[in-house]
Structure 1
Amino acid sequence: MSAWDSRLFGAAYDLGVEREWLARPVARLLWGADVRPLYDTLRRLADLPVGTSLLDAPCGGGVALRGLRPGQGLRYVGADLSQAMLRRTRRRAQRAGLPADVVAADLARLPFADGGFDVCVTFNGLHCVPDPAGAVGELARCLAPGGRLVGDLIVRGAGRRQDAAIAALRRLGIFGEGGTVAELRAWCAAAGLRIEHLERSGAVVAFSAV
């Protein structure tokens, strides 16, 4: 069983990510990062217009749902390999009164048609998958022309302390191959995406691409 399917690990992850007041000091301590831009991005999801189709992959415990509002009129699809995380997403959507489809899916091969979504979001996930370049390519494939990919990830190269933490999490099987800022730019370019915004704070990079 992977760490992501552990109920204890999932609860600890949700505790940290879903509570901004806790995530901010932890991110500052561990990654040297200000994560306020991530939460600003989540809040801006409430501005997406009626009829927007939104893919959240990997959805984790459904952190993107915190930015949506009942009656917004979106099509939300959450995809993740972890059944534990999918259950958390489903429960969060039910508590918030948000319609949501959750799908067991691997970012290496998403079970969606080309161009099926207006927006794809990927929060705290690209540094966990074995092939982040392939994952970006799959997310881009799922975007309609003019669609937007929005996300964040932890990158190497911010400093010795952060790189040591990344290496330790890789040994535990929590992080995957990961990459640098330059590699993120290359993944997007190879997938036919144009980066419109990229903001780095410590080891955390928030970005959007079209």
Structure 2
Amino acid sequence: MDDWRHARLTAFVYDFGIEREWLGRIGGRLVWGADLSRFYRDIHDLRTRLEGGRILDVACGGGTAFRGLPEEGPHRYVALDLSPVMLRRARANARRHGLRDIGFVQASVTALPYRQGGFDLCLSYFGLHCFPDPQAALTEMARVLRPGGRLQGTTVVSGGGLRQDTVISLFRRGGVFGDVGSAENLSSRLAAAGLGEISVERDGAVAFFSARR
């Protein structure tokens, strides 16, 4: 979305809330009617799942997932985002966490600059609802996963309640959100991308999803 590509205020507000776990939990409950404890727990547990693999974080935003990474390891981690503003914030976040082995790439999720099957794990935390074409994005994420590779993430979905759907509508009109579907839409899109072992669990207006190539 164009707003995410250039707007500093949008990036700052998002990062300020999501980076502070206590504030993110409050915002998740008040805005989305969701308990984000699982989101932060998934991030904290990342270090136990890397196993020297190749990880793609798209869209990485300001680097929220970095808190779950060990300072060093045999894994290869790529943080990709369309927004140069977000990438600058992600680089600064990596420095704060003492992380030196992260590759930063500016690119579109619908045209990932990687060969087929190049990654073991793809992370997509709170990015999918910002994409204008989430089906194309998921298809590209699936393409760059190796057979057996896993996709996991979170996204805002419709159908969580009148208040949440109103907020989604306002964000769409403001250019912050893209094509936001329901949890059922998400399951269908994951299957259409060629993924299996699909799990989609909705809490309020937030869906936690995972799938395998």
When the two structures are superposed, what TM-score results if normalisation uses the length of structure 2?
0.94
Q: Is the 8 A contact 1:152 1:206 kept in 2?
A: yes
Moved more, 51-60 or 90-99: 90-99
RMSD over aligned CA atoms reads 1.4
Rounded to whole Å, the distance in 2 between the matches of 1:70 and 1:60 is: 19
Q: Deviation at 1:207?
A: 1.1
SS of structure 2 residue aligned to 1:114: coil
SS of structure 2 residue aligned to 1:150: strand
SS of structure 2 residue aligned to 1:192: coil
Moved more, 182-191 or 48-57: 48-57
Q: Deviation at 1:29?
A: 0.8
Rounded to whole Å, the distance in 1 between the matches of 2:178 and 2:58 is: 16
Q: Deviation at 1:68?
A: 0.6
Residue in 1 that maps onto 2:72: 71
Aligned counterpart in structure 1 of residue 121 of structure 2, from 119, 122, 141? 119
Q: Gapped runs of 5+ residues in structure 2? A: none
Residue in 2 that maps onto 1:203: 205
How many residue pairs were aligned? 210
Rounded to whole Å, the distance in 1 between the matches of 2:198 and 2:73 is: 25
Q: Deviation at 1:196?
A: 4.3
When the two structures are superposed, what TM-score results if normalisation uses the length of structure 1?
0.96
Rounded to whole Å, the distance in 2 between the matches of 1:84 and 1:73 is: 28
Q: Is the 8 A contact 1:46 1:72 kept in 2?
A: no
Say whether residues 1:3 and 2:3 are aligned partners.
yes
Matched to 1:123, the amino acid is Y
Matched to 2:3, the amino acid is A
Deviations 1:35-79 (A, max 9, x none): 111111111111124421100001110111111111232211011
Residue in 1 that maps onto 2:42: 41
Rounded to whole Å, the distance in 2 between the matches of 1:147 and 1:44 is: 18
For residues 7 and 194 of structure 1, do their structure 2 counterparts lie closer, same or farther at Cα, with a shift above 3 Å needed?
same
Deviations 1:153-192 (A, max 9, x none): 0001111111110000001100001111111011111111
Rounded to whole Å, the distance in 2 between the matches of 1:206 and 1:102 is: 25
Rounded to whole Å, the distance in 2 between the matches of 1:49 and 1:106 is: 24
Residue in 2 that maps onto 1:22: 23
Q: Is the 8 A contact 1:33 1:201 kept in 2?
A: yes
Rounded to whole Å, the distance in 2 between the matches of 1:72 and 1:161 is: 43
Matched to 2:36, the amino acid is V
Q: Gapped runs of 5+ residues in structure 1? A: none
Residue in 2 that maps onto 1:54: 55
Matched to 1:3, the amino acid is D
Q: Is the 8 A contact 1:195 1:207 kept in 2?
A: no
Rounded to whole Å, the distance in 2 between the matches of 1:49 and 1:66 is: 13
Say whether residues 1:154 and 2:159 are aligned partners.
no
Q: Is the 8 A contact 2:187 2:200 kept in 1?
A: no
Moved more, 191-200 or 166-175: 191-200
Instruction: Could you list the structure 1 runs, at least 4 aligned residues long, displaced by more than 4 angstroms after superposition.
Output: none
Rounded to whole Å, the distance in 1 between the matches of 2:75 and 2:65 is: 13
SS of structure 2 residue aligned to 1:56: strand
Aligned counterpart in structure 1 of residue 170 of structure 2, from 162, 168, 171? 168
Q: Is the 8 A contact 1:185 1:195 kept in 2?
A: no
Rounded to whole Å, the distance in 2 between the matches of 1:88 and 1:191 is: 30
SS of structure 1 residue aligned to 2:111: coil
Q: Deviation at 1:101?
A: 0.7
Rounded to whole Å, the distance in 2 between the matches of 1:103 and 1:110 is: 10
Matched to 1:8, the amino acid is L
